[in-house]
Amino acid sequence: MVDFGKVLTAMVTPLNPDGSVNYDVAASLAKYLVENGTETVVVCGTTGESPTLNLDEEYQLFSTVLEAVAGKALVMAGCGSNSTKEAIVATQKAEKLGVHGTLQVVPYYNKPPQAGLYKHFQTISQASELPVLLYNIPGRTGCTLEVETVARLAEISNIVGIKESTGRTERVSEIRSLTPAEFQIYSGDDYMTLPLLAVGAKGIVSVASHLVGNELQQMIQAFNFGQVGVATEIHLRLFPLFKALFATSNPILIKEALRLQGWDVGFTRLPLYETNSKASETLAEVLQKLSLI
């Protein structure tokens, strides 16, 4: 069983002014994240703008980040698709490159039934030896991986956990009660990290960890050592940041925050677009208050 740690960062994909991928900045950012609380770098997830990256760009990003963090952290490749065949091809290529695991999102748009979802993930898991982290985010996919289906999938040896982006402690409680202790549950929302730890989650696949990775580590460690008051204090201090980063579609505002810190990550690819001046003002205020800029 691979231990991906407690803080996984869904890394942004830096872009040049012409919209091409800036691999040099990607390498530098990955190194920085690992030096500041990240145990596993998740490459080409939603935060990495996977919907608008082509496969060649994704494979080059996997290789770039693997080389940048070699021996210091794990790399998880976002290889999910609403085409089972395409997800398998991407996963097998990522495996050959040497990644340590793969993030597989619930198929989007085509809204398969639960039997189809089970078969989708089962088929992907059988096509590779990589550990698979399921990703349930119905707000983006339009389809929910039901608890009973998660429990069945958890019986497959290389399906090792789930990233839960539903904001529901009840659902995570149900998953925890129906899966083995070694099945790893991660919050997919920064603001839900502490609440979900209380019902059996292990950690967070985070966006905010670009900025406060060490603080998230401290919060989780405090909770695990029974220092709930300390963990709550950290959570409440960071809560305005969690809200500010998601005032519009991710990753628009985390890229803006990184630019304010001096990172040359560029902007987002269309159809994502920076238009919300109020959200930008609030973000800058929160970053200043937390001494992040």
Active-site residues, by number, are 135, 163
Which residues, 6 or more positions from 64, have their beta carbon under 8 angstroms from its beta carbon?
A: 23, 26, 27, 30
Could you tell me if 91 and 133 are in contact, meaning their C-beta atoms sit under 8 angstroms apart? no
Note the Cα 96 to chain centre separation in Å.
22
Which sign does the torsion angle of CA 217, 219, 220, 222 carry? positive
CA–CA–CA angle 164, 168, 169 (5° rounding):
95
Q: Where does residue 200 rank: exposed (0-12), middle (13-18), buried (19+ CB within 10 A)? A: middle
Which sign does the torsion angle of CA 33, 39, 43, 47 carry? negative
Which residues, 6 or more positions from 186, have their beta carbon under 8 angstroms from its beta carbon?
A: 8, 133, 161, 162, 163, 164, 201, 202, 203, 204, 205
Q: What span, in angstroms and rounded, lies between the C-alpha atoms of 218 and 236?
A: 13
